Amino acid sequence: MKAVGIVVEYNPFHNGHLYHIQKAKEQTDADIVVAVMSGPFLQRGEPALVSKWCRAKMALENGVDLIVELPYSFATQHAAVFAKGAVDILQGLECDYLCFGSESGDINEFSHTFIQLQRKQDEEDLLVKKFLKNGSSYPKAKSLAMQELTCRENDRGLNLSLPNNILGYEYYKAVHTNHYPMEVCTVARMNADYHDKIFTSDSIASATSIRQALLKEEGSLKTIEPYLPLASLNLLRKYKETYLSYHTWENYWSYLKFRLLQTTAKELATIYEMEEGLEYRFLKYVKEASSFQAYIRLLKTKRYTWTRLQRICVHILTNTKKEEMAVHSQPSYIRLLGTTANGRYYLKEKKKQFALDIISKLSSFDKDKIALDIRASQIYALGAQATAQEQLLNMEYLQHPIIK
């Protein structure tokens, strides 16, 4: 069986994701789709709208055959680490292809840019330092450096100012620098841009605009119906009925504020991604802010992006220390979330070739290895209404992989 791997968040699963799955199978002629999906907290430093189990069900109902979790130690990282962790897991699952969405839609642009930048790594490092010194954030400095290097020679050019192109480049780089045998391809994003906050199409919308509309309408699904498959709509409805709310940062603001008010600058400095004296800024503004959004607005500067600050807040919330993340430089296990019949057959056929352990039951695995993921899921459960928290807390231990 041939497998195409995809990297996803599904926050929530919408028609654009369905299109990606269909085109990935069409381009590769693969028998099954394997998805590695972020868990409770996402790459931009946000809690997922609904649990990983609910999002895994959405995926299985819409064409994914095998879905596994991207561990917290990669899911809440900048693009390069996020991409490497995801690609390592897809390679561990013996995927034949990797297919990602991009603004470009042309894999030759990624190939050309990769070759160009590999030749200029030292120059890139110097340019990144220059832009950082000028006050740019690291992602911005990295993007500016890559753009300058590729433009110097009238490059055919991958636009590396666009978020999915940047992430796609990191996927391509992870595959080729590790000499993985996966073939890489890309699908052009349709109609909606990644950061769109309003609907610009009759059937395709960004996850950002869908979440904003859903929350603005206080959970009413009517506005977002044209943009989601029926299974996603039904699962969103059921989730709200069961857990009484969706998850946003405001659900966790009181917990984050408590953590900040009872810690010292010295203790805060041990938190992952807390650098350059940022701990003093975090402590300075916590008493002034009345909400999470207000707090981030107070923290934000030209150098420190909203996304980076949110990620640091996630690490504060989960009490994730620098030394703890240092030991997770590469995946050491694969957490199985769900499969279809085809997915089960693929596991049976390929399992002996896998280099990483497959976790289907927490009770049969070393808890120390997966402690960070468990802690993140437990903290995430606190974002549900108080009467529903226990059920969500217990799912981390009691929920078996979903079988469709």
Residues 281 and 381 in one domain: no
Q: Is 14 annotated as a binding residue?
A: yes
Q: Is 18 annotated as a binding residue?
A: yes
Q: Is 17 annotated as a binding residue?
A: yes
Q: Is 108 annotated as a binding residue?
A: no
Residues 320 and 378 in one domain: no
pLDDT-based confidence at 277, cuts 50/70/90?
Answer: very high
Residues 95 and 213 in one domain: yes
Residues 334 and 256 in one domain: no
Q: Is residue 127 part of a domain?
A: no
Separation of alpha carbons 296 and 293, rounded Å = 5
Q: Is 179 annotated as a binding residue?
A: no
Better pLDDT: 194 or 403: 403
Q: Is 344 annotated as a binding residue?
A: no
Q: Is 20 annotated as a binding residue?
A: yes
Q: Is residue 253 part of a domain?
A: yes
Q: Is 157 annotated as a binding residue?
A: no
Q: Is 112 annotated as a binding residue?
A: no
pLDDT given for residue 191 in this prediction? 62
Tens of pLDDT, residues 187-222: 998 765 555 555 556 789 999 999 999 998 776 899
Question: For the chain, what is the mean pLDDT?
Answer: 91
Hey, what are 87's tokens?
A: 């690609």
Q: Are 32 and 342 in contact (CB under 8 A)?
A: yes
Residues 291 and 334 in one domain: no
Question: Of 82-91, 200-209, 330-339, 349-358, where does mean pLDDT reach its minimum?
Answer: 200-209
Residues 8 and 48 in one domain: yes
Residues 389 and 314 in one domain: no
Q: Is residue 133 part of a domain?
A: no
Distances in Å between the Cα of 189 and the Cα atoms of 1, 18, 102, 377 are 27, 12, 6, 31
Residues 318 and 337 in one domain: no
pLDDT at 106 over 90: yes
Last residue of a domain, one of 325, 358, 388: 325
What's 210's DSSP letter?
H
Percent of the chain with pLDDT over 90: 71
What's the domain range around 262? 249-325
| pTM more than 0.75 | yes
Better pLDDT: 295 or 118: 295
pLDDT given for residue 316 in this prediction? 98
Q: Is 328 annotated as a binding residue?
A: no
For residues 24-38, average pLDDT: 97
Q: Is 16 annotated as a binding residue?
A: yes
pLDDT given for residue 237 in this prediction? 95
Q: Is residue 285 part of a domain?
A: yes
Separation of alpha carbons 359 and 34, rounded Å = 16
Question: Of 59-68, 196-205, 269-278, where does mean pLDDT reach its minimum?
Answer: 196-205
Q: Is residue 220 part of a domain?
A: yes
Q: Is 8 annotated as a binding residue?
A: yes
Q: Is residue 216 part of a domain?
A: yes
Separation of alpha carbons 38 and 59, rounded Å = 13
Residues 26 and 83 in one domain: yes
Tens of pLDDT, residues 69-80: 999 999 999 999
Q: Is residue 128 part of a domain?
A: no
Q: Is residue 202 part of a domain?
A: yes
pLDDT at 175 over 80: yes
CATH number reported for the structural domain that contains residue 83 in this entry: 3.40.50.620
Domain count, the chain: 2
Question: Of 198-202, 215-219, 333-337, 364-368, where does mean pLDDT reach its minimum?
Answer: 198-202
Tens of pLDDT, residues 132-151: 877 777 767 777 777 777 76
Count CB neighbours of 269 within 10 A.
15
Q: Is 34 annotated as a binding residue?
A: no
Residues 333 and 386 in one domain: yes
Residues 14 and 68 in one domain: yes
Q: Is 15 annotated as a binding residue?
A: yes
Residues 382 and 273 in one domain: no
